[in-house]
Amino acid sequence: MKLQSILLPYGLFLGPMAGYSDHAMRQMCRKMGAEMTVTEMVSAKAICFGDSKTSLLSRVFFDETPTALQLFGHECDILSEATRKVEGGEAGYARPSAIDINMGCPMKKIISGGDGGALMKSPLQIEALVKAVALSTSLPVTVKIRAGWDEDHINATECAKAAESGGAQMVCVHGRTVKQVYSGKANWAVIGAVKGAVSIPVVGNGDILSGEDALRMKQETGCDGIMVARGAIGNPFLFREIHAALAGEPYTPPTITERVETALSQLRQACLETSEHHAIPASRGQIAAYVFGLRGAADVRRRVNCAKTYAEVEDILLGFARQSSEEN
């Protein structure tokens, strides 16, 4: 299958975020204009072992395609076997639209095992892994890389070329080095350099917080698509803003009521898919982000942190929205 056939007009992606980009968030971002989403990373090894928690994370729902399934791993046989296991989708769920290989995760427990960002140290291994996975599936294979291992080893271009020659159909470049983790600024010049060096679509990633940023990244790098991650936490409206900016249209930010209703709708979905017991604590960060910067947000955050049920959170948020609109 060719990936180009699912790359949509703006090439607007929600990035994978472990602990955040569950189906509820992906679906909300899609409603607001994200054209393709990615599951949070799942361990290829855990899939091979049939780990049940991993299988929950790797589900792609019918209402959210195109969604890529992201795997991490560093062994050709394990990644290929995991791909064969997930490519048909779980019973009752959709087929992933692509298999994305994580080659940028900077977390110690990931890189110490040779996975994620550690792969940037070896373009030859990148080529071999992509080739092995591409040979084992009919799904498009994509990769997500960083600028390089550290400032002295900026090799995104070399890694992207290696992925391309292994058969990758798209590369996403986060313009930070692995060593930077999330500090400093993303180096967009590296994204532009990769775009100039490969023929497959290049998606730029890093520090997109507004429609203006998205427009600038497109202009400065010539990238084919844009991936937004942290900026969409508690702000799925960012996709609406980016659509407006790219289309040259005006953007109206959400009202407080819309923010609160969107937060509650996402939380309801998360509760339905897992349980209140799991979803309420797991969603605290997202809910805090939905009201971030508004007057009274700190109090909302404190109260939501003590809430145990959906009804309690709803009460807190609707009360906050009512009070805020009375004050304005």
228 is a site residue for ligand FMN (CB under 6 A) = yes
Query: What would the 3-class secondary structure string for the chain be?
Result: CCHHHHCCCCCEEECCCCCCCCHHHHHHHHHHCCCEEECCCEEHHHHHHCCHHHHHHCCCCHHHCCEEEEEECCCHHHHHHHHHHHCCCCCCCCCCCEEEEEECCCCHHHHCCCCHHHHHHCHHHHHHHHHHHHHHCCCCEEEEEEEECCCCCECHHHHHHHHHHHCCCEEEEEEEECCCCCCCCCCHHHHHHHHHHCCCCEEEECCCCCHHHHHHHHHHHCCCEEEECHHHCCCCHHHHHHHHHHHCCCCCCCCHHHHHHHHHHHHHHHHHHCCHHHHHHHCHHHHHHHHCCCCCHHHHHHHHHHCCCHHHHHHHHHHHHHHHHHHC
> Which of 126, 151, 206, 163 minimizes the C-alpha distance to 118?
126
User: In the set 3, 78, 79, 105, which binds ligand FMN (CB under 6 A)?
Assistant: 105
Q: How far is the CB of 172 from ligand FMN (least distance, A)?
A: 8
- Determine the length of the chain: 328
Cβ proximity to ligand FMN: between 41 and 118 the closer is 41
User: In the set 59, 144, 161, 218, which binds ligand FMN (CB under 6 A)?
Assistant: 144
96 is a site residue for ligand FMN (CB under 6 A) = no
Question: Mask of contacts with ligand FMN, 274-313, x by CB under 6 A?
Answer: ----------------------------------------
104 is a site residue for ligand FMN (CB under 6 A) = yes
Q: Which stretch binds ligand FMN (CB under 6 A): 13-21, 153-161, 194-202, 274-282?
A: 13-21
HSE at residue 172, side-chain half, CA atoms within 13 A, is 30
Q: Is 293 exposed, middle or buried (0-12, 13-18, 19+ CB in 10 A)?
A: exposed
User: In the set 208, 223, 287, 288, which binds ligand FMN (CB under 6 A)?
Assistant: 208
Among the listed residues 29, 48, 105, 172, the single catalytic one is: 105
Distance of CA 110 to the CA centre of its chain: 17
Q: How far is the CB of 112 from ligand FMN (least distance, A)?
A: 17
20 is a site residue for ligand FMN (CB under 6 A) = yes
Structure tokens at 16: 């994978």
Q: Which stretch binds ligand FMN (CB under 6 A): 120-128, 189-197, 202-210, 213-221?
A: 202-210
- Establish whether 29 is a catalytic residue: no
241 is a site residue for ligand FMN (CB under 6 A) = no
Q: How far is the CB of 295 from ligand FMN (least distance, A)?
A: 26
229 is a site residue for ligand FMN (CB under 6 A) = yes
Cβ proximity to ligand FMN: between 48 and 69 the closer is 69
Q: Which stretch binds ligand FMN (CB under 6 A): 1-9, 135-143, 225-233, 310-318?
A: 225-233
205 is a site residue for ligand FMN (CB under 6 A) = yes
221 is a site residue for ligand FMN (CB under 6 A) = no
236 is a site residue for ligand FMN (CB under 6 A) = no
Question: Mask of contacts with ligand FMN, 48-77, x by CB under 6 A?
Answer: ----------------------x-------
Which residue, chain included where needed, has tokens 């609707």?
A: 318
Catalytically annotated residues: 105
List contacts with ligand FMN (CB under 6 A). Answer: 15-20, 40-41, 70, 102, 104-105, 144, 174, 205-208, 228-231
